Structure 1
Amino acid sequence: MNKISIIGMPMDLGQMRRGVDMGPSAMRYAGINEKLKNLNIEVDDLGDIPVGRPEVVIRPDTNLRNLELVAEKNEKLAAEVDKVIEAGSFPLVLGGDHSIAIGTLAGVAKHYDNLGVIWYDAHGDLNTGETSPSGNIHGMPLAVSLGIGHEMLTQIGGYSPKIKAENIVIIGARSLDEGERALIKANGIKVYTMHEIDRLGMTRIMEEAIAYLKDRTDGVHLSLDLDGLDPADAPGVGTPVIGGISYRESHLAMEMLEEAKLITSAEFVEVNPILDDKNKTATVAVALMGSLFGEKLL
């Protein structure tokens, strides 16, 4: 890609732990702009979508935390992502909690007939208001993008669904709620859990995922949640789950995606510097972006 437009989405409304709104700043501080420029990529940092400091609102009738606020801010993100793609640039969104994927996908998917999604995450993010134990919308963006959930969320961007179940590959899952497991089975969503990663190895997983998506999609979005990695490598996340993907395996995954020239948009989410150790997680995120965008040792 010749040009990347960076969009910061400093939103923490999709969950309860403060600090993830500082994720975009932490990744910029860790040197994402400089890294991309060193790869001879033209970088246009568009700054942050204004989120402000809105008051938390819980709707007991929906079991959804901050429904109106999350919808409103994601509409703004969708419009910005749409504009970036219209201008012929690659959108790179820095989160923020994973509820921002609702807006990213709303802005991206309208440009593709069969958008593929690689969901690199410990969680499926396939909950709804009915199945969610917490009501946190950061556990729902993949379901919302499939058209499942509250219409204030599913209709962001003015259309639904954004993606098809058969165009999704989840990598790194190791914490799924009962409702999510049912939805995965009912829709035949392709999931590589940590069991498959341990058993088959990351090379085979990525070869299969790339082959699976290459022929059936006309673009692929990467949604990478830093909690997909093991907390030993990425401690600064809101919902850590031990036994995750290693730092090296993650680099290999990004390198293979770059070689395949598969990814057409991306977001890196759930970096929370308040929970981090010396900005380690943001530094990991930036290093993985380097591999995704062509950084090589030799």
Structure 2
Amino acid sequence: MHPIRPVIGAAGIILAALSFSAAHAQGTDQLPAQRDLMVLGAWFAGDSRWDSIEQAYFEGRQRREGGNERDAVDFPRRDLTLERLATTDLLALRASVAGAPSTRWRFTATPEGVRLARDDAPGCDLLLTRAAASFTGSTGPGCRAPLFLDIGERTILLGPSPARATRYLKSRAFTCYVDIPGVGGGRAIPFKRFGPFTVPDQGGSARFDTHETPPRTLELRLRNVAWAYNNAPGVFTRNSLTLYIAEIAADGGSKELAYVFGEPKAQRIGMNLKQLLANCAMVPLKDAKPEF
């Protein structure tokens, strides 16, 4: 007596193959813009602050010897805040440039690319296309509020045209404090701590009055310097995170006392001049984790 063996016909084999294929399918291909929109959503997962101090500073420096951002004419210093909005849209931001009304940016995916609509300019949408490391687009001809936008993870160009665009760099928030005097070497010397101060690394600052008699007004500043040109022939001047200490005079003038610099991606920077110690870190001292 022979055992009964099930016989599967060709139709059964095809049906089984189709079932396996459906169960393990990759899914439905999406628009490239939907993927791009997810990249933008990751870049702007929360609120962010941007500043154009580097563009303004290097323009001012070229205009006169010893110039700075206050001497800029074509590209005066501006700051930009992007607030992530809770919405059913995949991505919506409230954009606020200091001194101007805020507006909502709404991003949607279309077959042509990522479309950006602005509340303050209905009908003047931008179609953003992906470049090497950013998304760029301009409003069409006839728009009453022309806009050029090149938006990257850490840099934004924003203005009425590429030639007139303000260059914003993304700020990182540091927590800073200053000790007077700057104690070191484990010595038990009394000191006074000033801070903590929250200081953005794109031109942020904090002022305080010392406990001396008479008191002095000191200012701590942070800049993540992005050089627009080299400062010597044949030398590539490297970008750097820079911490400054200055004394503010009664007439508002500033006298730089010292500065230190390091890698632009550094998350901590400090100096000890013995007369004072300054320390800035992205992770506040109270939240520091043990290291091994």
Normalised by the size of structure 1, how large is the TM-score? 0.23
Which is helix-richer, 1 or 2? 1
Higher relative contact order, structure no. (Cα contacts within 8 Å, ≥ 6 residues apart): 1
Structure of greater Rg:
2
Greater fraction strand: 2
For normalisation by structure 2, the TM-score amounts to: 0.23
